[in-house]
Amino acid sequence: MITKPKIWLVVSLVTVGLCFALIIALPPLVGIDFKGGALLEIKTALPSSVVSDLVTQQLQSSATIQTTEAQTLLVRTTALSPDQHEQLLLGLKEQDDAVQELRFETVGPTIGAELRRKAWVAVTLSLLVTVTYLAYEFRVAATVALMHDLLVVTAAFAVLGWLYGAPIDALFVTAMLALGGYSVNDTIVLFNRLKQEWLATRSGNLITLMDKAAKLTLTRSLNTSIPILLTLLTLLIFGGSTIRWFVVALIVGTVTGAYSTIYVAPAWLWLLTRK
């Protein structure tokens, strides 16, 4: 499985470089949780251009309109007061009596900035503690695998935000924290197996030992990942739009976490300890 670590080193470096390029070229879409604003999901027969013009006239503010897979419209605009929200709905109903409001969220800019600051603090503290432990106990290889997973998920959301309007919001941060723990746990299991194999023989080629450890932990990794993916796919299909992108982040992270545990972490361990 890992008999050619140089290849997986190149693959992981190319993946990380591609992720950085995507994040820079397609900056992730920041949700209203962190920047403030309003999100209104409506079901209407009106064209998106008509809704956009109506919002501009009613609120004296521009709006971003997006069509969803369920043929509804997502209207993103500045934060709305209760009176502005009611005024906008009345204006829509004048144009289309059958208009339905499916979802409404609004966050003021001050609250958005506070949520953004707390999210950064939570992510930074979590990563610092995790990286410190990994760097001491399992060398830098496990840390590289963790950063690899988080970068892949962020890059995926940069693309999804550009294509489908997937936001970076509080649920995304929650998913990233959960995925960090999952990725670290999987890598630790593999490295512990590698340690046991080394202690049992006290000799042998590192690549051979890593390959054996990966094969021995593969069944355990698949038995963990597959039920998680099945559960997440069920949530994606039946869970509704509110948690859709949260579930997507977990799915992408679970897949890349299983891959990085078997290939990325051992390859970097080989690089750092080859002497």
75 strand-pairing partners: 40, 65
Torsion (CA) 247, 158, 125, 271 in degrees, nearest 10: 100
> What would the two tokens of residue 81 be?
């007061």
Separation between Cα atoms, residue 11 and residue 7, nearest integer Å: 6
43 strand-pairing partners: 100
Residue 71, Ramachandran bin (φ over 0: left; ψ between -120 and 50: alpha; else beta): left
Average of per-residue pLDDT values in the chain: 81
Query: Is pLDDT above 80 for 126?
Result: no
| Whether 148 contacts 267, CB under 8 Å | no
Per-residue pLDDT of 28-75, as tens digits, reads 888 776 777 778 888 888 887 888 888 777 777 667 777 777 778 888
Q: Regarding predicted confidence, which is higher, 126 or 274? A: 126
Check residue 134 and give its pLDDT: 67
Point out the least confidently predicted range of 9-13, 44-48, 152-156, 227-231: 44-48
Check residue 46 and give its pLDDT: 81
Check residue 154 and give its pLDDT: 93
pLDDT-based confidence at 250, cuts 50/70/90?
very high
Query: Is pLDDT above 60 for 244?
Result: yes
Mean pLDDT over 90-103 rounds to: 83
pTM, entire model: 0.77
Check residue 24 and give its pLDDT: 93
Q: Regarding predicted confidence, which is higher, 193 or 135? A: 193
> What would the two tokens of residue 71 be?
């043929």
> What would the two tokens of residue 182 be?
């999952």
Check residue 31 and give its pLDDT: 76
What is 125-136 written as a DSSP string?
HHHHHHHHHHHH
Check residue 231 and give its pLDDT: 92
> What domains does the chain contain, in order, with CATH numbers?
5-29+111-273 (1.20.1640.10), 37-107 (3.30.70.3400)
Q: What angle do CA 214, 220, 223 make, to 5 degrees?
A: 135
Per-residue pLDDT of 182-215, as tens digits, reads 878 878 888 888 888 778 776 667 778 888 888 8
Check residue 117 and give its pLDDT: 76
Check residue 48 and give its pLDDT: 78
